Amino acid sequence: MTDITEIVATIRTGSGLGAQTDDWVYLGIAGREFLLNTAADDFEDGDTNVFVIGTGSNVTPANLNDPTSPQLTIADLDLFPVYLRLASNNEWLLDEATVTVNNTHVFENPALTGSAANQQIWLARNAGTMWYLRRTAGTPQPGPPSNSTLGGHVVRGTINENGSVHAGSGNFQINVVGAGQYRITFTTPFPAPPSATATIWGDWLYMQDAVHIAGIDQTGVTIFTSDSNFSRANRPFNFIAIG
């Protein structure tokens, strides 16, 4: 698993009466919280503050807000929620927040994108003290296997006859290698060969049209399709790989 070495939180405070806060604001990410605090006056009216945690840290105390102690990983980013939390009885007007991990993985909340009055949020004890972010850039990595039978990583897709993607999880690429032969490459390889299955889809096909898994490894799966005469031919199919 890739280690988290740097977290950068860019936070903009709104403008107006009581918008600022002198209270503690925490970032929850990868299974723990970090205090967003520097030697400057943070979260002042209309200010944009940048908090660096880990490599090049500007937060204080840096040793207690360190993603390498204990070591957090990129896989942790999608196993736990990402959020901001105000620890206060007072109010704070949050205008926008972006969190970037290892200069690649980005978390935001599009509801705050823009300058309209309803694209800000007051955090307070009487209004809710947490604001959640979601991934907007970067590729999720599989986490450790869970206790469920599905494992920790799933790749799925519904593929058109010409090899274009009709629907799916988005974490794969597909190439038409030849007539009735498709190669699906996983964006993030599985730690071990996954299990996979595939089915024909489309109401214009005969029951004899078929699909089968021709090969599978950590990096991808090869799928063959055939027509009702049992000859290799392009056909639409669904697939799912779990590991």
Q: Is the pTM of this model over 0.75?
A: no
Residue range 30-48, pLDDT digits in tens? 999 999 999 999 999 999 9
CB 164 within 8 A of CB 158: no
d(CA 233, CA 200): 12
Q: What is the dihedral of CA 23, 29, 33, 39, to 10 degrees?
A: -50
d(CA 12, CA 139): 26
Per-residue pLDDT band at 148 (split at 50, 70, 90): very low
d(CA 97, CA 11): 5
Residue range 210-242, pLDDT digits in tens? 999 999 999 999 999 999 888 999 999 999 999
pLDDT at 135 over 60: yes
pLDDT at 150 (0 to 100): 47
Domains with residue ranges and CATH for the chain: 6-137 (2.60.60.20), 154-242 (2.60.40)
Tell me the mean pLDDT in the region 143-157: 62
d(CA 216, CA 192): 10
pLDDT at 144 over 70: no
